[in-house]
């Protein structure tokens, strides 16, 4: 104790008390921050896991639906339908654009837009496809129905016409809206 510089010691004591107090305060703050950060990281890691598990879906999705940006005009839309591969005959000459609406499934937007077509001279009943004979027509419609990116809600076959043909009602192509699928919107 002898000849200790008392004011300096007092100063040190005050500083020490402040440090101790600060430590006490910071300790709880840091612990809380650490806990929150861990929770956040945990949440993210779980998210990543789920996302990784669902990652193949994205590939399937991209493979199943053509991107909307590919559709630039009526002709590219017509080509996407690819009626020839189904053995069907259709014509782009009388094809008209019907409605273009975001697809809602159970009132939820999935990132798909329906681009629908009608044959103009059919009075908006639907889109006309034809084939050399009825067997091919039916086969063709079946082949068409297997394709995910194509949707129609009804088939009409009328023999009154001289050529085997069918009217597909609500004939639409599903195109995917790229990027941020959480925001509904139609790409031009």
Partner 1 sequence: MFDILSRLRLSPGDPGIAFVGALEDFRSLPRNSRAILCGQLVFASLTSSHPGRDYIRQFGRSSARRSLFPGKKTVELSVWGDKAAMTAAESNRIKVGFSVDHYLSWGVSRKAAAVLIGGYPDKASTTIQVMVFAGAQLKQIFEKNLPAYDHPRFPSELSYLLDEIRSNFPGYRLHWAAPLEPLPDDYLQSDIINIGMEPFRHLQFRPVIASEGNAPFLRRFGPGLGLLGTVALVSGSMLYAPWHSYRVTWQKYQFETDPQLMPDGRPRNFPAMLYRQANNKLEVLQMQKDFLQHPPQQIQLANDMRQLLNQIASTPKVTILAFWIGGQSDEPSGGGRPAPHIAMRISVPADIRHSALDQGNALLKELSERTGLTLHLAANGVEEKLSESGGRPQARIYKVEG
**Residue ranges binding partner 1 (CB under 8 A):** 1-5, 8-9, 11-13, 15-16, 19-20, 22-23, 26-27, 30-31, 33-34, 37-38, 40-41, 44-45, 47-48, 50-52, 54-55, 57-58, 60-61, 64, 105, 108, 110-111, 125, 138, 141-142, 144-148, 150-160, 169, 180-182
Residue 54 or 72: the one with the smaller Cβ distance to partner 1 is 54
What is the rounded CA–CA span in Å between residue 183 and residue 39? 28
Q: How far is the CB of 103 from partner 1 (least distance, A)?
A: 9
- What is the Rg, in whole angstroms, of the alpha carbon atoms belonging to the chain? 33
Reading the block at residue 101, the tokens are 């609406």
Residue 11 or 97: the one with the smaller Cβ distance to partner 1 is 11
Task: Name every residue whose Cβ is closer than 8 Å to that of residue 157 and which is 6 or more positions away in sequence.
Answer: 134, 137, 164, 165, 166, 167
Q: How far is the CB of 90 from partner 1 (least distance, A)?
A: 16
Reading the block at residue 64, the tokens are 């199943």
What is the rounded CA–CA span in Å between residue 48 and residue 175? 27
Residue 33 or 79: the one with the smaller Cβ distance to partner 1 is 33
């Amino acid at each position: 104790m002898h000849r200790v510089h008392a004011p300096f010691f007092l100063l040190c004591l005050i500083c020490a008390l402040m440090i101790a107090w600060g430590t006490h305060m910071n300790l709880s703050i840091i612990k809380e921050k650490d806990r929150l950060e861990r929770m956040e990281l945990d949440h993210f890691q779980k998210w990543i896991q789920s996302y990784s598990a669902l990652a193949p879906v994205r590939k399937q999705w991209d493979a199943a639906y053509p991107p909307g940006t590919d559709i630039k005009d009526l002709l590219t839309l017509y080509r996407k339908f690819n009626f020839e591969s189904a053995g069907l005959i259709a014509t782009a000459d009388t094809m008209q654009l019907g409605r273009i609406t975001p697809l809602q499934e159970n009132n939820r937007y999935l990132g798909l837009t329906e681009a629908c077509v009608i044959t103009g001279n059919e009075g908006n009943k639907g889109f006309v496809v034809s084939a050399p004979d009825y067997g091919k027509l039916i086969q063709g419609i079946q082949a068409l129905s297997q394709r995910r990116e194509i949707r129609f809600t009804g088939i009409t076959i009328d023999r009154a016409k001289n050529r085997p043909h069918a009217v597909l009602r609500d004939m639409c192509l599903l195109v995917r809206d790229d990027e941020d699928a959480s925001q509904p919107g139609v790409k031009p």
